[in-house]
Amino acid sequence: MIFGVLTATLALFVWNRWRYDIVAIAALLTAAFLGLVPFGEMFSGFGHPAVITVAAVLVLSRGLLNAGVVDAVARQLTRVGERPWVQVTALTVIVALASGFMNNVGALALLMPVAVWMARQSGRSPSFLLMPLAFGSLLGGMLTMIGTPPNIIIAGYRAEITGAPFAMFDFMPVGLGVTAVGVIFIALIGWRLTPQRERPAATGELFEISAYLTEVRVTEENRYVGHTVFELMRELQGEAEVVVVGLVRGERREPMPAIYEVLRAGDILLVEADPDSLKTLLDVTGMELEARLEEAQEQDAQKGRGEGRDSPMGELALEEAIVTPTSRLVGATASALELRQRYALNVLAVARQGVRLRERLDQVRFRAGDILLVQGSEEELPDALGELGCLPLASRGLRIARPRKVILATSLFALALGLVALGWVPAAPALVGAAVAMVLVGLIGPSEVYRGIEWPVIVLLAALLPVGQALETTGGSQLIADGLFALGAAASPAWMLALLMAVVMLLSNVVNNAAAAVLAAPVGIALARSMEAAPDPFLMAVAVGASCAFLTPIGHQSNTLVMAPGGYEFRDYWRMGLPLSLIVIVTAVPLILWIWPP
């Protein structure tokens, strides 16, 4: 029964129709009703130290980003020159080091706009830099216990079987060796294996925006006098791509007028439309063309990426942003979320895998990895994108690091790490304490605490931990271990570790890496028992394998995030990912056997 539950769960993960946290909850419920997990222990995972630690690390990562700790280092990347191997080396090293001590997706989110900017300044496609950047974030996660959720999970499993978890820097000897070799490969050879996309990288060229910013007047006899903006837009729906970006009424100048604003005679609407849609607007509504701003001005504003444009509305900004896997936009449409009313945000265009979508914007259901061209108030746009879970691209300015905040955030984080490393305080309470301290000193706002936690990952872990325990208590993990042991009965421990690591790597490329660690750790422990060996090397092999999802864009959020901006296809990840995976195995196995002998 447990094999049936896990097979169905893995199939749903691969199918990717339902979000992985929903699949995990369904698996937990099924296991409970089949009697595999006691009802009283169903939700024990939500109090598991590994789950609490992951949540605390996510909050601390937000605090470090807010303080500008990594921005101060990232700012120097703009000075590395235009040689591709130098850019790749600098980006990969910085993101790997950052990922060792904070959420690797957070480190990638900080440096991805810098990478896109560097590529455009050099006249190259971002595809040269983004895949190396994503893979570097995965490698760096292996450096410490808090670098990636699999390490935290593996540390928890070790505590259950030996009474003591892996310490903060127990992962460092193996992780540092693997990361160093991986970064050298990426910097010298790997980036040359990335696809050389010839697709233009500039925003205006990506979206091919040819819209005019135009003023139209509501005449005295116009039939829309006394009607709302919503009624106007509803009549145009399906006939024209028109966005009302402002309203002028006498001395009143209102950017982003409410959709229920009642139109009056003499009102001037500032609209954004391509020439065909503009003609349809005038023909259907009977409004008059008041003035047309130069198309070159519109293009300049787009190339300025966030610079205000001269208009009656004041400072409006354009921004290109990517939809993250945890964004509230995923699966929804702009109209359903009321982006204009609730966030004062206009979506002007959507690109998917490097190609602009031609269907009507109000009918587009957003997916993770979509790139949006959005417009809004220059001051409010960054906050709106953050609340929606979107990451700005290329135009994102690095925060001006404030020395006091940098020192304060670094000191709190270092204090927590020190307490854990010295064994004085367990990881969960130490990191939660540091997170609370960051809130109290103002580095993180109370509302940011909850926005900074990736709740789908937390639910996934909490739901799968009891399922993983059921795999062990039912004897399922021992059965798998016996099969692996029989397969390599005459093999040395090195070959068994390599086999285990390869299997976990393949698993982590089709399911979330935390899920791979939860499911594979009991198998590693059972395999150690079958070989009458210490569990440490096998747990380390699982940790390394779960962290190295280099073969597909769905195995890790970092890979998903760079897919659209880099213009990558599914098969592109194999080109650099396969040799990198082999290099990791060849490097990690001897290091594990040397540092953690069986």
Helix H or strand E segment including 288: strand 288-292
H or E stretch covering 119: helix 104-121
Whether residue 314 has pLDDT greater than 60: no
* Residue 593 pLDDT: 94
Could you report the per-residue pLDDT of 332-375, keeping only the tens digit for each? Answer: 887 778 787 788 787 877 877 666 676 656 678 888 778 888 87
Give the pLDDT of residue 327.
Answer: 81
Report CA 92 to chain centroid distance, whole Å.
Answer: 17
Question: At a CB cut-off of 8 Å and minimum separation 6, what does 411 contact?
Answer: none
Q: At residue 307, does pLDDT exceed 60? A: no
The highest-confidence range among 177-181, 225-229, 513-517, by mean pLDDT, is 177-181
Lowest mean pLDDT among 34-38, 219-223, 504-508, 542-546: 219-223
Q: Report the C-alpha gap between 263 and 217 in whole angstroms.
A: 10
567: left (phi over 0), alpha (psi -120 to 50) or beta: left
Residue 299's pLDDT is 43
Write out the two tokens for 388: 């929606």
Q: How confident is residue 547, by pLDDT bands cut at 50, 70 and 90?
A: very high
Which class for 476: exposed (0-12), middle (13-18), buried (19 or more C-beta within 10 A)? buried
Report the C-alpha gap between 520 and 501 in whole angstroms.
Answer: 10
Task: Say if pTM beats, i.e. exceeds, 0.75.
Answer: no
Distance CA(119)–CA(562), nearest Å, equals 14
Mean pLDDT of the chain: 81
Using pLDDT thresholds of 50, 70 and 90, give the confidence band for residue 238. low
The pLDDT value recorded for residue 290 is 65
Find out whether 6 and 474 touch, Cβ atoms under 8 Å: no
Residue-wise DSSP of 256-277: S--TTPBP-TT-EEEEEE-HHH
Q: How confident is the model at residue 311 (pLDDT cuts 50, 70, 90)?
A: very low
CATH of domain 306-392: 3.30.70.1450
Contact between 409 and 335 under an 8 Å Cβ cutoff? The reply is no
Does position 460 have pLDDT exceeding 60, yes or no? yes
CA–CA gap between residue 172 and residue 179 (Å, rounded): 10
The per-residue pLDDT for range 283-306, each reduced to its tens digit, is 888 888 764 443 434 444 444 433
Pairing of strands 345-352, 355-356: antiparallel
423 backbone φψ class: left, alpha, beta (φ>0; ψ -120 to 50): left
Q: Tell me how far the alpha carbon of residue 271 is from its chain's centroid.
A: 33
3-class SS of residue 219: coil
Q: Which amino acid is at 421?
A: A
Maximum distance among all Cα pairs of the chain, rounded to whole angstroms: 92
Q: Which of 37-46, 153-162, 323-332, 345-354 has the lowest mean pLDDT?
A: 345-354
Q: Residues 446-450: what's their mean pLDDT? A: 82
As a dihedral over the C-alpha atoms of residue 121, residue 122, residue 127, residue 128, rounded to 10 degrees, the angle is -140
Per the listing, tokens 């939700």 go with 43
Tokens of residue 564, six digits: 């659209």
DSSP letter for each residue of 451-513: HHS-HHHHHHHHHHHHHHHHHHHTTHHHHHHHHHHHHTTTS-HHHHHHHHHHHHHHHHTTS-H
* Residue 348 host element (H or E): strand 345-352
Residues 6+ apart with CB under 8 A from 342: none
Two tokens at 529?
Answer: 């028992």
Token duo for residue 272: 């954004």
Instruction: List pLDDT tens digits, range 396-446.
Output: 444 445 667 888 988 999 999 899 988 899 989 999 999 999 999 988 888
Please give the Cα distance from 320 to 300 (Å, whole number): 15
pLDDT number for residue 227:
87
Q: Give the pLDDT score at 294.
A: 39
Q: What is the DSSP secondary structure assignment for residue 398, as one 8-state letter?
A: P
Res 589 pLDDT > 90: yes
> Quick check: do 219-286 and 306-392 share a fold?
yes
Q: Rounded mean pLDDT of 550-555?
A: 84
- Distance, CA of 474 to CA of 2 (rounded, Å): 8
- Alpha-carbon radius of gyration of the chain: 26
Predicted local confidence at residue 141, as pLDDT = 93
User: For residues 401 and 263, which has the higher predicted lDDT (pLDDT)?
Assistant: 263
Residue 153: name the closest of 461, 563, 583 by CA: 461
CB 324 within 8 A of CB 391: yes
Q: What is the pLDDT of residues 101-142, one digit of tens each?
A: 887 877 887 788 778 778 877 777 788 899 999 999 999 999
On the question of pLDDT at 181 being above 90, the answer is yes
Looking at per-residue pLDDT, the higher value among 201 and 30 belongs to 30
- How far apart (Å, rounded) are the C-alpha atoms in residues 74 and 87? 12
Query: What amino acid occupies position 80?
Result: V
Summarize pLDDT for 53-100 with one digit per residue, the tens: 888 988 888 888 777 766 666 666 767 777 888 889 999 999 999 899
Lowest-pLDDT choice from 417-431, 551-565, 584-598: 551-565
| Alpha-carbon gap, residue 317 to 559, rounded angstroms | 29
Q: Does the pLDDT at position 588 exceed 80? A: yes
Taking the domains of the chain in order of start, what are their residue ranges?
2-199+408-595, 219-286, 306-392
Question: Which homologous superfamily does the CATH classification assign to the domain defined by 219-286?
Answer: Regulator of K+ conductance, C-terminal domain (3.30.70.1450)
CA–CA gap between residue 224 and residue 269 (Å, rounded): 12
Q: What percent of the chain has pLDDT over 90?
A: 27
CB 395 within 8 A of CB 336: no
Note the pLDDT of residue 274.
Answer: 67
Q: Are 115 and 125 in contact (CB under 8 A)?
A: no
